Amino acid sequence: MIIGIDLGTTNSLACVYRNGKAELIPNRLGESLTPSVVSLDESGEVIVGAVAKERLVSNPTDTAASFKRFMGSKKTFTLRQKEFIPQELSAFVLRQLKQDAEQYLGGEVTEAVISVPAYFNNNQRAATLEAGRIAGLHVERLVNEPSAAALASSMLSDEDEQSYLVFDFGGGTLDVSVVDCFENIIEIVAVSGDNHLGGNDFDTQIAEFFCKSHQIDFGALPRQKQAILKRLSEKAKRELTEKERTFLHMNIDGEDKAVILNNEILIECCTGLFDRMERAVVHALRDSGYCADDIDVVVMAGGSCKMPAVSCFLEKMLGKKPVMIGSPDEVIAQGAGIYAGIKARNEEIKDVLLTDICPFTLGVGSYNPNDHEKSIMSPVIERNSVLPVARTRYFTNVHDRQKEIAFPIYQGEAFDCSENLCLGKIMIEIGPSKAEEAHVSVTFSYDINGILVVDVVDDKGPNRKQQVFMSEGANLTEEEIKQKIEELKKYKISSNGDERDRLLQERGNRIYQELTGADREKVGMALQAYAYALSENDRHAIRVMRQKFAELFDAYEEFLGEEFLDEEFLSEKFPDEE
Select from 298, 315, 350 the last residue of a domain: 350
> Do residues 455 and 505 both lie within one domain?
no
- Tally of domains in the chain: 3
What is the model's pLDDT at position 449?
73
Sign of CA dihedral 8, 13, 17, 20: negative
> Do residues 167 and 91 both lie within one domain?
yes
> Do residues 409 and 537 both lie within one domain?
no
What's this model's pTM, rounded to 2 decimal places? 0.83
Q: What angle do CA 365, 357, 448 make, to 5 degrees?
A: 90
Question: By C-alpha distance, which of 204, 208, 196 is closest to 68?
Answer: 196
State how far the Cα of 282 lies from the Cα of 290, in Å rounded to an integer.
Answer: 10
Question: With contact defined as beta carbons under 8 Å apart, do 284 and 300 qualify?
Answer: no
Question: With contact defined as beta carbons under 8 Å apart, do 376 and 417 qualify?
Answer: yes
What phi and psi values does residue 550 have, to the nearest 5 degrees? -60, -40
> Cis bond leading into 575, ω under 30°?
no
> Do residues 411 and 560 both lie within one domain?
no
State how far the Cα of 465 lies from the Cα of 454, in Å rounded to an integer.
Answer: 8
CATH code for the domain of 385:
2.60.34.10
pLDDT, tens digit only, all 578 positions of the chain: 999 999 999 999 999 999 889 999 999 999 999 999 999 988 888 999 999 999 998 899 999 999 999 998 889 999 998 999 999 999 999 999 999 999 999 999 999 999 999 888 888 998 999 999 999 999 988 999 988 998 998 887 777 788 999 999 998 899 999 999 888 888 999 999 998 899 999 999 999 999 999 999 999 998 888 988 998 999 999 999 888 899 898 888 778 888 999 999 999 999 999 999 999 999 999 999 999 999 999 999 998 999 999 999 999 999 999 998 888 999 999 999 999 999 888 777 777 888 888 989 999 999 888 887 889 999 999 999 998 999 999 999 988 888 889 999 999 999 999 999 999 999 999 888 888 888 899 999 998 877 889 999 988 778 889 998 865 444 677 888 888 888 888 887 665 557 888 899 998 888 888 787 888 888 888 888 888 888 888 888 888 888 888 888 888 877 664 443 444 444 554 555 43
State how far the Cα of 334 lies from the Cα of 344, in Å rounded to an integer.
Answer: 15
Count of residues in the chain: 578
> Do residues 29 and 144 both lie within one domain?
yes
Please give the C-alpha separations between residue 157 and each of 190, 350, 351, in angstroms, as whole numbers: 21, 18, 17
AA identity, residue 439: H
AA identity, residue 299: V
> Do residues 14 and 129 both lie within one domain?
yes
> Do residues 463 and 507 both lie within one domain?
no
What is the model's pLDDT at position 577?
45
How is 222-263 classified by DSSP, letter by letter?
-HHHHHHHHHHHHHHHHHTTT-SEEEEEEEETTEEEEEEEEH
> Do residues 80 and 109 both lie within one domain?
yes
CATH code for the domain of 161:
3.30.420.40
> Do residues 513 and 445 both lie within one domain?
no
Burial of residue 178 (number of CB atoms within 10 Å: 0-12, 13-18, 19+): buried
> Do residues 170 and 31 both lie within one domain?
yes
> Do residues 374 and 517 both lie within one domain?
no
What is the model's pLDDT at position 47?
94
519: containing domain: 499-567
State how far the Cα of 22 lies from the Cα of 3, in Å rounded to an integer.
Answer: 10
State how far the Cα of 406 lies from the Cα of 427, in Å rounded to an integer.
Answer: 5
Strands 421-429 and 82-84: unpaired
> Do residues 503 and 464 both lie within one domain?
no
